[in-house]
Structure 1
């Protein structure tokens, strides 16, 4: 058994996945589109949008799609457990572009280098680096 997140966007899934690729998180390894290859199409406006995608990178796997009835993202976050403060700082800055930082990166009461943000697509990210002393 393995748990993975599934992100639902209304129509911006492809742009979000391109953004995560540009941030260096990984790449799309599977993609299916609404109305193609025999997939059902309930809404003509969704034709060609992402029906299902798999995104993978080192230590990362999640799924995503466009759904015209998707609810706004809330109540969940991706947490990335990092082992290098410089890489944590750089990735945090890339993910934060056009988004909102909710907890600036810094040493937290539990001793880790941590920050939280909501990216430009409404996805929450937490980056935690337990090896802050190695910065």
Structure 2
């Protein structure tokens, strides 16, 4: 068994996946579009938008799509666990571009180098690095 998140967007899925690839999280390994597979469209405005995508990178797996009835994301976050402070800081900065930092990246009372943000697409990310010392 493996747990993987599924992100729902209304129309920005492809843009979000390209952003995550530029951040260095991985790449899209599967992409299907609404209207391509003879599956009836629930809404004609969705034609050509992402019906289903698989995104993979080292230690990263999630799925995503555009849906005419997608609800704003809330109550969940992707948590990335890293072992290098420098990589953690760079990734945090990239993901935060155009987004909102809710917990600045810093050494926390429990000892982790940790920060939380909501990216420009409304997806929450928590980055946690257990390596001590500056990176």
TM-score, with length taken from structure 1: 0.98
Tell me by how many angstroms 1:39 deviates: 2.4
Which secondary structure does the structure 2 equivalent of 1:133 belong to?
A: coil
> Which residue of structure 2 aligns with residue 42 of structure 1?
42
Moved over 3 A (4+): none
Counterpart residue number, 1:80 = 80
Q: Distance in 1 between matches of 2:56 and 2:7?
A: 13
Q: What SS class does the counterpart of residue 132 from structure 1 fall into?
A: coil
Q: Deviations over 1:61-82 (max 9, x none)?
A: 0000000100000000000000
- 1:134 Cα shift? 6.0
Q: How far apart are 1:133 and its partner, in Å?
A: 2.5
Task: Mark the runs of 5 or more structure 2 residues left unpaired by the alignment.
Answer: none
Deviations 1:41-72 (A, max 9, x none): 12110000000000000000000000010000
Aligned residue pair count: 135
Residue 98 of structure 1: how far off its partner (Å):
0.1
Is the aligned partner of 1:8 residue 2:8? yes
The yes-or-no answer on 1:106 pairing with 2:131 is no
Query: Which whole-Å CA distance do the structure 2 matches of 1:36 and 1:63 have between them?
Result: 18
Query: Where does structure 1 lack aligned partners over 5 or more consecutive residues?
Result: none
The alignment yields a C-alpha RMSD, in angstroms, of 0.8
CA distance in 2, matches of 1:132, 1:74: 31
